[in-house]
Amino acid sequence: MVLELGRIPVEGIEWGRKTSIEGKVLHIDRDELVERARGNDHRITSIEAELARPGESVRIIPVKDVVEPRVKVEGRGGMFPGLISGVETVGEGRTHVLEGCAVLTVGRVVGFQEGMIDMSGPGARYSYFSKLLNIALVIDVQEGISKHEHEEALRLAGLRAAAYLGEAGRYVEPATVDRFEVNPSFRSGVGRPDLPRVAYVYMLLSQGLLHDTYLYGRDVKTMLPTLIVPTEAMDGAIVSGNCVSACDKNTTYHHQNNPIIRELFKRDGIDLHFVGAIVANANVTLKDKVRSSDYAVKLVELLGADGVIISKEGFGNPDADAMMYCAKLEEKGIATAMITDEFAGADGGSQSLADTTPRADALVSVGNANEIITLPPMDRVIGDVGIIEKMAGGRPGSLSVRGGITAELQVIIGATNELGFELLSSREG
Amino acid sequence: MGARIKAVHYLNQFFGQIGGEDKADTGPTRRDGAVGPGALFQRILGSEVEIVGTVICGDNYFNERMEQATEAVLSLIEGYGPELVLAGPAFNAGRYGIACGSICEAVERRLGIPAVAGMFPENPAVELYKKSVYLVGTQATTLGMKDAAQKMARLVLKLARGEPVGSPEEEGYIPRGIRKNYFAGETGAARAVEMLLRKIKGEPFITEYPMPIFDRVAPLPPVDRLGEATIALITSGGIVPMGNPDRIESSSASKFGRYDIGGVDRLTPESHETAHGGYDPTYANADPHRVLPLDVVRDLEREGVIGKLYPYYYATVGNGTSVASARTFAHEIAKDLIRDGVQAVIISST
């Protein structure tokens, strides 16, 4: 099973008469983009498309999802299967990536938990998305539709826009092609026996109530943990439907570019044998947590893993799931390393997690999301900056008269991403 | 040569060369220049710093009247107009450690200048002061004097110059339990894979977040005569009167609200809503009882299952709220409840 990712570098974005890539510049037909993003969704009343480039004095708020434009050029299935294309299994063949740009869905707030991106200034250091050429879609919907419909309308519009832009790369020769080969773990003789066997437990937030993730279009709330070929994530098989706190929500972009999968592939056959990835849900009830963690641990055992990376999404309630996955694996003698962020209070003096186990002795911290940051005003705002005072991490008074922001790091989308996307960490000090 | 940085050193009666345990009742006093171990500190600090004075107080005197003694010592220190203060090291002497911690805390808060103390990590003062001031870890006895003086001098100079302070391992201070963000050299994903491989191979690795010891509360026995008990409702699910009058934050709440439900039988979508930002509010707003079960509790009251419902409920938002804040809220709420004779509480979370 092989997936080739052809990377097409995008170093400029401009509005143009036809959507196409010329050199390293993505030209976008603005009207067609808006039309394609809207699709036939009658719930959407308007879409404004805006461009935001790294270094510009631009603040984008509230951002719901970030999506990378990709196109499937060879192999089965289409981009974002089960949602905007068929349901064939993806992850093989060839996919082209418009690297360096992203589609953002913006617009009236759905939940409180959406994020912001600054394209320059101190806030830009915290988010990879500040380094991307962003195509922001400010989407409005009919009055009176439910929050769930509102979320769905925006989610699908973002996916359609990314798939539309991705098409521009279909016939472009990529600058580099990365090859990801997955060998069936159960077949004898696969992998070097001297290398440690490493699996990945990929927790997907699935609490319902706007905390949902989709696998091939299926809400993962009701699934049992299951095996995926890691390349499936690269083809958009996992899509975020989350309005969980911005800092540690896994956007669709994060799923497409999962850094743990990337890292495990990079070292596969060199100093480890990557035996597989298990997508595991993180639900709200104790019964669900017990069932899912038991089931996922069984799959890890079947894979014969010596060690497991556990990644998280969200905080508080999911801490309990993560600790359960960790403790049960360690009890089976399977080593774990877990990635988590911290909520240690603005002064950093509180304990950081809502649940713990003494067995979690190898944690990677991706930062204290409660730490206070102060951000200067920006010349241009895409969206509505006033919402900062209601967002998770903001508070009344977060917005200064001049437009500066004082809030918790929590408000910046991806700042403490628990797939380990960023460099941020936290330590005693 | 520019002006030297003025420092004051705090010592107890023993290190201050007044006397042993028999002089532990000595009140605060001052000597110009360095005294006892101060000479060693002066040598290490070099020409950039001058210990202009030493303030000395007996350990018993200090601990028997801490507030008063802190004030008196502080005013003697202030008299020298210093730019930094050193205290101890107190090694494993508990009373001396407490004096050093208390003085450094007061100096930083009231004079706004850096202060560093030194003590053995198991000195009882460590738990009291490690969060508020830098305490350099020392050996238990004076054998560790030179090492302590070097670390304390280096750290206080960094603070005085406004230079960034490194980690406890780099600087030698006792971990304060304070988490600070920084940018690492590798992504979290790369660090995790590296850590896992080391763990599998049995090589040393350092977790980036050692597990905290949780404050477990043993449950009380069941309420004896529920039919006579006054019950209160508390929620961390954010149910507040419509409009959120106290402006409780949707995440990382800094406060809780106390709301009158005396004579109120039912909550409605018009009367109450949730301020919580951690879950979809649709269902809580449609029927606030889903989070704050006033309806059921009123029924139980009518049926005589419980004695009566306390006429106020308390609400905050649990989303992202630090444990330290939650503990403070609980202390304040418990004061009301105990005062008003509430025997049991139903806490609903989300």
Name which residue leads in pLDDT, A184 or B2: A184
Pair (B163, B231) in one structural domain: no
DSSP state of A314: S
Q: Tens of pLDDT along A66-77?
A: 999 999 999 999
- pLDDT of res. B2: 60
Q: Which residues of A are catalytic?
A: 243
Matching residue, tokens 């306390």: B310
Mean pLDDT over each residue of chain A, to the nearest integer:
95
Q: Are A16 and A246 in contact (CB under 8 A)?
A: no
Q: A260 and chain B: CB distance < 8 Å anywhere?
A: yes
In a domain, B244, yes or no: yes
Domain boundary among B171, B195, B212: B171
Q: What span, in angstroms and rounded, lies between the C-alpha atoms of A271 and B132?
A: 44
Domain boundary among B152, B171, B190: B171
- pLDDT of res. A193: 84
Of A346, A392, A420, the CB nearest to B192: A420
Q: Is the dihedral of CA A372, A373, A378, A383 positive or negative?
A: negative
- pLDDT of res. A113: 67
Of B189, B278, B324, the CB nearest to A420: B189
Residue A104 dihedral angles phi and psi, to the nearest 5°: -115, 135
Measured in angstroms, the CA of A415 and the nearest CA of chain B are apart by 11
Mean pLDDT over each residue of chain B, to the nearest integer:
93
- Establish whether the linkage from the previous residue to B222 is cis, with ω within 30° of 0: no
In a domain, B54, yes or no: yes
Of A160, A149, A58, give the one whose Cα is nearest residue A108. A149
Measured in angstroms, the CA of A17 and the nearest CA of chain B are apart by 39
Residue ranges of A 211-230 with Cβ closer than 8 A to chain B:
211
Average the pLDDT over each of A266-270, B91-95, B116-120, B174-178 and give the range with the smallest value: B174-178
Q: CA A117 → CA A126, A409, A418, B23, B246, distances in Å?
A: 9, 11, 18, 63, 29
Pair (B251, B120) in one structural domain: no
Pair (B23, B107) in one structural domain: yes
Average of per-residue pLDDT across B171-183: 92
Pair (B231, B329) in one structural domain: yes
Pair (B235, B167) in one structural domain: no
Pair (B166, B257) in one structural domain: no
Question: How many structural domains comprise chain B?
Answer: 2
Pair (B165, B231) in one structural domain: no
pLDDT at B1 exceeding the cut of 50:
no
In a domain, B214, yes or no: no
Of A113, A207, A362, the CB nearest to B207: A362
3-state secondary structure chain B: CCCCEEEEEEEECCCCCCCCHHHCCCCCEEEECCCCCHHHHHHHHHHHEEEEEEEEECHHHHHHCHHHHHHHHHHHHHHCCCCEEEECCCCCCHHHHHHHHHHHHHHHHHHCCCEEEEECCCCCHHHHHCCCCEEEECCCCHHHHHHHHHHHHHHHHHHHHCCCCCCHHHHCECCCCCEEEEECCCCHHHHHHHHHHHHHHCCCCCCCCCCCCCCCCCCCCCCCCHHHCEEEEEECECEEECCCCCCCCCCCCCCCEEEECCCCCCCCCCCEEECCCCCCCHHHHHCHHHCCCHHHHHHHHHCCCCCEEEEEEEECECCCCCHHHHHHHHHHHHHHHHHCCCCEEEEECC
Residue B103 confidence class, pLDDT cut points 50, 70, 90:
very high
pLDDT at B227 exceeding the cut of 60:
yes
User: Are the beta carbons of B177 and A336 separated by less than 8 Å?
Assistant: no
Q: Are A67 and A129 in contact (CB under 8 A)?
A: no
Q: What span, in angstroms and rounded, lies between the C-alpha atoms of A242 and A413?
A: 12
Q: Encoding tokens for residue A21?
A: 């890539």
Domain boundary among B143, B171, B199: B171
| Residues in chain A within 8 Å Cβ distance of B175 | 428
Average of per-residue pLDDT across A131-154: 94
- pLDDT of res. A36: 98
Q: Tens of pLDDT along B250-288?
A: 888 889 999 999 999 999 999 999 999 878 888 999 999
Residue A166 dihedral angles phi and psi, to the nearest 5°: -60, -35
Torsion of the alpha carbons at A387, A392, A398 and A401, rounded to the nearest 10 = -10
- pLDDT of res. A209: 77
Q: A417 and chain B: CB distance < 8 Å anywhere?
A: yes
In a domain, B213, yes or no: no
DSSP state of A224: P
Of B179, B195, B323, the CB nearest to A362: B195
In a domain, B265, yes or no: yes
Q: Tens of pLDDT along A349-399?
A: 888 998 999 999 999 999 999 999 999 999 999 999 988 988 889 988 999
| Residues in chain A within 8 Å Cβ distance of B185 | 423
Per DSSP, the three-state class of A375 is strand
DSSP state of A294: H
Q: Tens of pLDDT along B41-93?
A: 999 999 999 999 999 999 999 999 999 999 999 999 999 999 999 999 999 99
In a domain, B203, yes or no: no
For chain A, percent of residues with pLDDT exceeding 90 = 87
Pair (B158, B280) in one structural domain: no
- pLDDT of res. A183: 80
Q: What span, in angstroms and rounded, lies between the C-alpha atoms of B45 and B69?
A: 28
Q: Are A414 and A114 in contact (CB under 8 A)?
A: no
Pair (B272, B335) in one structural domain: yes
Average the pLDDT over each of A143-147, A186-190, A317-321, B320-324 and give the range with the smallest value: A186-190
Contacts of A40 (CB under 8 A, 6+ apart): none
Residue ranges of B 117-136 with Cβ closer than 8 A to chain A:
131
- pLDDT of res. B214: 67
Number of residues written out for chain A? 429
User: How high is the ipTM of this complex?
Assistant: 0.97
Q: Are B29 and B77 in contact (CB under 8 A)?
A: no
Domain that holds residue B29: 5-171
pTM attached to this predicted model:
0.82
- pLDDT of res. B220: 87
Residue B215 confidence class, pLDDT cut points 50, 70, 90:
low
Pair (B235, B144) in one structural domain: no
Q: Tens of pLDDT along A85-121?
A: 999 999 999 999 999 999 999 987 776 568 999 999 9
In a domain, B192, yes or no: no
Measured in angstroms, the CA of B253 and the nearest CA of chain A are apart by 9
Q: What span, in angstroms and rounded, lies between the C-alpha atoms of B300 and A38?
A: 52
Q: Are B90 and B47 in contact (CB under 8 A)?
A: no
Pair (B153, B244) in one structural domain: no
Q: Encoding tokens for residue B293?
A: 């079960």
In a domain, B273, yes or no: yes
Output Rg (C-alpha) for chain B, integer angstroms: 27
Paired with B140 in beta bridges are none
| Residues in chain A within 8 Å Cβ distance of B190 | 259, 263, 420
Average of per-residue pLDDT across A153-178: 97
User: Are the beta carbons of A409 and B181 separated by less than 8 Å?
Assistant: yes
Pair (B85, B153) in one structural domain: yes
DSSP secondary structure of A115-183:
EEEESSSGGGGG-GGGGSEEEEEEEEE-TT--HHHHHHHHHHHHHHHHHHHHGGGTTSPPSEEEEEE--
Q: What span, in angstroms and rounded, lies between the C-alpha atoms of A234 and A92?
A: 10
Average of per-residue pLDDT across A322-340: 97
A vs B, Cβ pairs < 8 A, gives: 249
User: Are the beta carbons of A396 and B167 separated by less than 8 Å?
Assistant: no
